[in-house]
Every structure is written in structure tokens, then in C-alpha cells.
Amino acid sequence: MDHLLERNEKLIDIGIALSAESSLARLLEMILLGAKEITNADGGTLYSVQENQAVKMEILRTDSLNFAMGGTTGTDIPFAPIPLYGADGRPNHHNVVTHAVLNDCTINIPDAYSAEGFDFTGTREFDRKTGYRSTSFLTVPLKNHEGVIIGVLQLLNAQDDAGQVIPFSPEAQRLTEALASQAAVALTNRRLIEDLKHLFESFIKLIADAIDEKSPYTGGHCRRVPVITMLLADAVAKVQDGPLRDFTMSDDDRYELEMAAWLHDCGKVTTPEYVVDKSTKLETIYDRIHEVDTRFEILKRDAEIAMLRKRAENPAQADRLLKDYQDTVRQLEDDRDFIHRSNQGGEFMRPEDQARIEAIARRTWIDAGGAVRPLLTEDEVRNLNIAKGTLTDDERQVINNHIVATINMLEALPFPKHLKRVPEFAGGHHERIDGQGYPRGLKREQMSVQARIMAIADVFEALTARDRPYKPGKKLSDTLRIMAHMKLDGHLDPDLFDVFIKERVFQQYADRYLDPDQVDRIDIGQLPGYGQ
């Protein structure tokens, strides 16, 4: 009775431990080792039932042979899954494990060498090679809450207190069946959690794919920022001294940050395509540069018509009139080419170039209705005179609003405890440590380390990206020079950027993801703020 009570207490302890285990591999191992313990079995195997109608070995242990495979051992099990049905479709009742699954029954065999109805050829061959004697077997199916068999627990060679092999007793069988029931619940719960986690991750990546479909210029960004974020976060977690020495990350912390990085631009699903994809200054739903070209052609045609009419009236002035016409055409073509160059956008547009746009706009042309119109409309002048990039202030506000949409979307989601900080991490990547960022104007001390890490990752990816419509991807040296200035200007966190530079996180990413033409030699001492 004392021995039975002791086994019952072990069963309870194992059940409590099973409910707390979060690793599927450790959970499987715990089930098998727990069953071996309460039955004093020398060996055992835990099988899973596969969707392809086969049972697969997951964990294999035999103590007396010091034999351990699967689970946390790192040693793969070389044996092929056992089919539940033969090639002819007939059920496989010759194998003990498959028979237990097919008949939903426990099988207790006192001695495999005298058992009838099952094929133990493989077992006997194993015994012959190893000198082992596989005698008693206890095979118990594992059923989930829906009554579906999800696995099989098979124990080998029960032992008495003297270490002699004995059959599995009725008490040992009942304890094992009780454990199998608890184990099935724990396995089902863990697999359900894993399935939900996989669904969550797939949904997140679906959002990135949706943004990719909507705009090929930002979809790649959504996939690359998580890579940079995690490279930098892992480097920061290894820092042993300085202001970041206390920053650590558990597995849950890493997962939370990675999910935030995947979701950091989810609000872009609300941003109009014509703004996201605006590759030139005059582009809306289409590029209005073609309308401007047409007006220039009209002016050239009008100039030609006027010249021909004057030559007809004053033949003696033909040469002068032709020269004036050619000068006019050259000037028109030069102005048109200048507008084309201005339309491309860039890092900076000089004030004198903006003044020239306004002067060109004052030219007039006559439309089909006979109305006199300026060569460039006010809206076209406003767009062409954008000092940096291709977006007007209003369009930039539309773009910037994606982060507000991101925060609103994420804060509306009922994240579980281990993901509660996702909105804060994802929503802070456009803030600046000097408080001049958006949307909330947060300062460094108001932001988490993770949000500041994502800000660096976001900028680095944007500068090096080769798929933006308005610029080529920058070389590594140019990117780091710009970011070093951003650090000095109060944009990027100086301590995190120091780790990014000194631990050469940028190089890890560049070697894997950047075009070789972008990866030039980096002399850290030549970067602003890093010289001697």
C-alpha cells in the first residue's frame, strides 16, 4: 500500500509538472520518463500519430543500454514511421503499437517471446545485436479531449526492487493509463498553443504580404526590419558594461520584440497607394509630367506657327525669324529637361532651382477652348519645388499617419501578457530621443530600449533599401555616415548606435542582405563622432 501511495504521489507530481511545461520536446520527454519512473520500466518509447496514417517515434530510452534518442538529446531517431495500413489498405494489426491505435486499447504483454498475434521480428533482431532481452511490454494509446488518438506510450521491461524483469502489474497499467490521459491533455494544450502561435505569426506575415502586394516598395521593408532589429537586440543583450549592461532578453522577450518588428508598419495598409508609391514629385494616380510635356509641345508648335506666319509676311526676315524660333525651342527644351530633373526628387533642391520653377510657371499656353493658362499650375509648382524627396507636406502627413494607424490597430488588439508591449515597441520607431519625433514627441527616457532599437533598424533599412521608387539603395559607408550624424543630432539613441557600430551589427546584415556593390569598406574611425 505504501508503494502504491508513493506511485500515486509521483503521478500527481508528474501531472502538475506536465501542465507547467511550455516546451513540446521537454513535455514529450517528461511523459516518457514519468511513465518509466512510476512503473520502474527499463525502457520506453513515445510515438506520435501522424496525419499520413503512421506512427512516428519521438522519444526512445533504454537505461540499461544507455540508449537515448529524440527529445532534448539532439540525437535523431533513424527508424522510419510505422504505417497504420498496408499498401493494400488493410489495417496493420501485426505491430503492437499500430494495433493499439487501430483498436483503441491497452496491450499488456508479459513476455514478447511467447506472445502470439504480433510480429516481434524487429525486436528480436535488436536483442540479438545488443544482447538485450525485450520481455514485458505495456502499450497505451494517448487520446485527446475529442477522443482522437494522438500518440502511443510504450514501456519495456518492468523491474522489481531487485532489478529483475517482471510483467507490468494491473496497478502499473492503471497508473500508466492515468498518466497517458493527463499526458494527452497536456500535449493537446501545448499543440493548441503552438497552433495558435503559428496562426498568429502567419497572420502577421500575411499583413506584411498584403502591404507588399499593395506596394512593392514597403513590403520588403516589413520583412527586413525584423532581421536588423533582432541582430541589434541580441548584440545589446550581450553587452557586459556601460549604460546597457542591465538589458537582457528572455525567449518571451525576444519573441515579443520580433512580433513588434513585423507589425511596426501594419498601419500602412491604410495609406493610399499613390502616396506610398509616389516615385516622382508630379505623380498622383499617374505621373503628371506627361501633361507638362504636352504643354511644352504646344508651345513649340505655337512658336513654329508664329514663325512661319511672320516669314510669310516678311520674307526678308526669314533667317532672323528662324534663329529666334530655334532659340525659343532650345529654351523650351532646356526648361522641360530641367523640370524632368526636378521631378525626380532628391536629397536637396536649391532655392535658385525653386525660383526657376516659378519663373517657368509664369509662361502661358492656350488650351483647346482658347483660354490662356499658366504653363504650370499652382499645385504642380508646389510639388516640383519640394525641397527633399517627392512628398508634399500634406502627403508626408498622410505617410506619417501610418504610425498613428499602427498604434491604434495594435492597441485595439487583446494581446496576451507576454505580448503586451508590442504596441509600444512598434509605435515608437519614428520617435527621436530629443523629443522631435512623431507621433507623440517622446524623449529617450520615455521610450523602451526595444523601441529605440527599432528606430535604428527602421532608418538603416530605409537608407540601404534598393527597392524604393524615389532613390537607389545607399552604400554602407554613406548610410553609416548619415546615421552617425543622426546620432549627433539627437535623432538616434547614442548608446544603442555605438553597439550597432562597434559590434559591427551593420556588417552582419550587409553580408547577408545587401547588394555587393553597396558593401564598401568601413573605417569606423572616419565616421562622425568616432574619430580620435
- pTM for the predicted model, two decimal places: 0.65
Instruction: Indicate if the pLDDT at residue 226 is higher than 60.
Output: yes
Residues 6+ apart with CB under 8 A from 495: 242, 243, 244
Q: Which domains does the chain have, with CATH numbers?
A: 2-194 (3.30.450.40), 216-267+406-526 (1.10.3210.10), 289-390 (no CATH)
Average pLDDT over residues 230-239: 96
Compute, in degrees rounded to 10, the torsion defined by CA atoms 125, 128, 129, 134: 80
Q: Binning pLDDT at 50, 70 and 90, where does residue 24 land?
A: low
The percent of residues in the chain predicted with pLDDT above 90, rounded, is: 52
Question: What number of helices (H) and strands (E) belong to the chain?
Answer: 18, 10
Q: Tell me what pLDDT residue 225 has.
A: 93
Q: Higher confidence at residue 181 or residue 9?
A: 181
- Computed on alpha carbons and rounded to an integer, the radius of gyration of the chain in Å comes to 36
pLDDT tens readout for residues 373-412 = 999 999 899 889 988 887 778 777 777 777 888 999 999 9
pLDDT over threshold 80, residue 10: no
Q: Which residue has the higher pLDDT, 392 or 449?
A: 449
pLDDT at 206: 85
In the prediction, which pLDDT does 375 show?
92
State the pLDDT at residue 7.
62
Lowest mean per-residue pLDDT among 115-119, 162-166, 246-250, 358-362: 115-119
Look up residue 143 and give its DSSP letter. E
What percent of the chain clears pLDDT 70, i.e. is strictly above it?
Answer: 91
The whole-chain average pLDDT of the chain stands at 87
- In angstroms, what CA-CA distances link 24 with 34, 188, 418, 426, 481? 15, 10, 18, 29, 46
The helix/strand/coil state of 154 is strand
pLDDT of amino acid 268: 81
Q: What local confidence, expressed as pLDDT, does residue 216 receive?
A: 61
Q: Report, as an integer, the average pLDDT of 39-65.
A: 92
What is the DSSP-derived secondary structure letter of residue 82? E
Q: What is 257-270 written as a DSSP string?
A: HHHHHHHTTGGGGG
Question: What is the average pLDDT across 159-183?
Answer: 89
Tell which wins on pLDDT, 464 or 210: 464
- Choice between 167 and 10, residue whose per-residue pLDDT is larger: 167
**Residue 367 pLDDT more than 70?**
yes
**Residues in the chain, how many?**
532
